[in-house]
Amino acid sequence: MKKKSMITIAVLSVFVMIAIAVNWNGSFFRSLVAPSDPDAGKDPSVEAGATPQEDTYFDNARYTRTQSREEALALLHSIVNDDSVDELTREKAYLEIVAYAKITEGEAGLESILKAKGFSDCIVFLTSDTATVVVAAETLTESQSAQIFDAVLSHTGFESGSVKIVTYP
């Protein structure tokens, strides 16, 4: 059972990294996790007949990132709470949960910082040693790129070669 649980954690980790890397357009994984109930996920604050605001790339990417993490965390929680799983595997699953929390906090913090610096919208994808920042812009000036690099490097401690900036019009 120990080997099976460790393989499950490894496969799950790889899946989440792939999901984050591939979700650039947001629709691929969104279609995989789309609820079967057509009313699921609709904003309850939008009244019937009202036109909700159109989803943007950034909305879709955040949704996909959240869904992927929720699925991964649900599996990790089930491992942690399963008394038939050995203690070492449960501890590794718990550490994965803690790592997800730190990454999520780091992404949210960086997104807030970048918006405070004047970027209209952005999304940050962190791993343990890389950062990808997607900003709403046709192009970036050297000054804007420097602001993004400065924020990411100071917030994460990564080397500049570990940071990628992508513009999305």
Q: Report angle CA 120, 156, 110 to the nearest 5 degrees.
A: 20
Strand 122-126 and strand 131-136: pairing? antiparallel
Q: In the chain, what are the domain boundaries?
A: 2-32+54-168
Going 51 to 56 to 59 to 61, the CA torsion angle's sign is positive
For the whole model, what pTM was predicted? 0.68
- In whole angstroms, give the CA distance from residue 42 to residue 76: 27
Return d(Cα 160, Cα 2) in angstroms, integer: 39
Q: CB neighbours of 144 closer than 8 A, spacing ≥ 6? A: 119, 135, 137
Nearest to 69 by CA among 115, 28, 114, 33: 33
* Per-residue pLDDT tens digits of the chain, which is 169 residues long: 566 665 666 555 555 554 444 443 443 333 333 344 444 444 443 344 433 455 789 999 999 999 999 999 999 999 999 999 999 999 999 999 999 999 999 999 999 999 999 999 999 999 999 999 999 999 999 999 999 999 999 999 999 999 999 999 8
Q: Does domain 2-32+54-168 have CATH number 3.40.50.880?
A: no
> In angstroms, how far is the first alpha carbon of the chain from the final one?
49
Rounded Cα–Cα distance for residues 164 and 92 (Å): 29
Q: Which residue, among 14, 21, 19, has the nearest Cα to 132 in the 3D structure?
A: 21
Q: How far is residue 20 CA from its own chain's centroid?
A: 6
**What is the model's pLDDT at position 4?**
65
Q: Where are the beta strands (DSSP E) in the chain?
A: 122-126, 131-136, 163-168
